Amino acid sequence: MLKKLIAAVFVFIIGTGLAFAQVDVNKADQAALDGIKGIGPAMSKRILDERKKGEFKDWADFESRVKGVGEKSAVKLSDGGLTVNGQARSKSATSPKEAVKGFGKKAKEQDAQDKPSGAKG
């Protein structure tokens, strides 16, 4: 009985370890890509087609080259085990365009708070 319990625990540990296996987008075949939650046959084909043009340098490169992959989906794919050059995607990363937008808005809000209520400019 104890042997069966130990075997069951061992199988569980191995199974969960395989479920969270990392798949590098620059090395994976179509079957490995399809194993990532959120990637189906159509997306894996788009990924492989883009990879033929050259390896993905980083997550920003991956997001810009693969149609249908944006910041939110990239985070989900990374959470599912996809990596680019062995690197998981940071959840807090923003594109340079978004960073500039946020900076401009924050700067305007700060200016509005700094000016006296009757001041123009």
Mean pLDDT of the chain: 78
Distance from C-alpha of 5 to C-alpha of 104, rounded to nearest angstrom? 60
pLDDT at residue 18 in the model: 46
Contact 34, 44 (CB under 8 A): yes
Instruction: Give per-residue pLDDT as tens, 75-108.
Output: 999 999 999 999 999 886 555 455 445 455 555 5
